[in-house]
Chains A and B, each alone.
Chain A
Amino acid sequence: QQQVKQSPQSLIVQKGGISIINCAYENTAFDYFPWYQQFPGKGPALLIAIRPDVSEKKEGRFTISFNKSAKQFSLHIMDSQPGDSATYFCAAIMDGATNKLIFGTGTLLAVQP
């Protein structure tokens, strides 16, 4: 119940294309869902985040779609660029005594020029 399942494990997209990464969760107590981007040798950096009372959130080329009934959420990267090539992690957190991030397993995105 504490897991966040992420797919695909890796993704190759052509420049200008749309990258889509999917995540699913079981624990309905999760109430905040951030996405992180990680480059080699660096720590994860917060990209965009959403709460379950919102179905979609857009920031620039990055959009989160959230389906509360299905307990699924996804990251869409529009007009993907080679500089977007990185590992992407979805995560979930619940408000409580320990506000720990539960991370997905990651998606390695390669955007080909």
Chain B
Amino acid sequence: DAGVTQSPTHLIKTRGQQVTLRCSPISGHKSVSWYQQVLGQGPQFIFQYYEKEERGRGNFPDRFSARQFPNYSSELNVNALLLGDSALYLCASSLEPYYGYTFGSGTRLTVV
């Protein structure tokens, strides 16, 4: 079985630009969560979606938005990029929220 798939794997953007990151969950998983991992730190929760509805949002500015599609894949959008947005963005899927999260390998975003 394919695991959680994230694309692209690496991305370089300029300050002020917008970026869209994509995530395909494990087949059958209906919950998708997004985390930001700054180098040397633990992942920080950004969003959780379950059955296409937002279940939770972390302490991130409105520049961050996400959505989940009918096939349960998800996109994370970040507008007006700042240097501080440089991080590894991780997507995790599970059958339903709470436990059993499987993480993808992430998208490494560098803002210059």
Residue numbers of A with Cβ under 8 A of B are 6, 32, 34, 36, 41-46, 49, 89, 91, 93, 95, 97-106
- How many residue pairs link A and B with beta carbons under 8 A? The number is 64
List residues of chain B with CB within 8 A of the CB of A46. 100-102
**A–B Cβ pairs within 8 angstroms, 12 of them:** A43-B4, A43-B103, A44-B90, A44-B103, A46-B100, A46-B101, A89-B43, A99-B56, A99-B97, A101-B92, A102-B45, A105-B42
Asked if A99 and B48 make an inter-chain contact with CB atoms under 8 angstroms apart, the answer reads yes
Q: Given A43-B106, A44-B103, A46-B102, answer yes or no on A100-B41 (Cβ-Cβ < 8 Å).
A: no
In addition to A95-B98, A106-B41, 8 A-B residue pairs with Cβ atoms within 8 Å of each other are A42-B106, A44-B90, A46-B102, A93-B98, A98-B57, A99-B55, A99-B56, A102-B45
In whole Å, how far is A57's beta carbon from the nearest beta carbon of chain B? 14
B104 interface contact, C-beta 8 A: yes
Alpha-carbon distance A100/B42, docked complex (angstroms):
13
- B43 near A101 (CB under 8 angstroms)? yes
3 A-B pairs with least C-beta separation = A98-B56, A103-B42, A43-B103
Nearest residue, chain A, Cβ from B33: A100
Q: How far is the CB of A51 from chain B (nearest CB, A)?
A: 10
Q: Bound complex: CA of A43 vs CA of B104, how far in Å?
A: 5
Give the shortest distance, in Å, between A67 (CB) and chain B (any CB): 21
- Give which listed residue, A41, A42, A95, A106, contacts B42 with CB less than 8 A: A106
Interface centre among B33, B44, B98, B102 (most CB of A within 10 A): B98
Write out the residue numbers on chain A whose beta carbons fall within 8 Å of the beta carbon of B41: 105-106
A97-B56 in contact (CB<8A): yes
Residue contact B99 to A32, C-beta cutoff 8 Å: yes
B79 at interface (Cβ–Cβ under 8 A)?
Answer: no
In the complex, B105 has a CB within 8 A of chain A? yes
Inter-chain contact A100/B58, CB cutoff 8 Å = yes
Chain A positions within 8 Å of B35 at CB level: 101
Name the contact of B55 in the complex, choosing from A42, A98, A101 (C-beta under 8 A): A98
B2 to chain A, nearest CB (A): 14
A61 → chain B closest CB, angstroms? 22
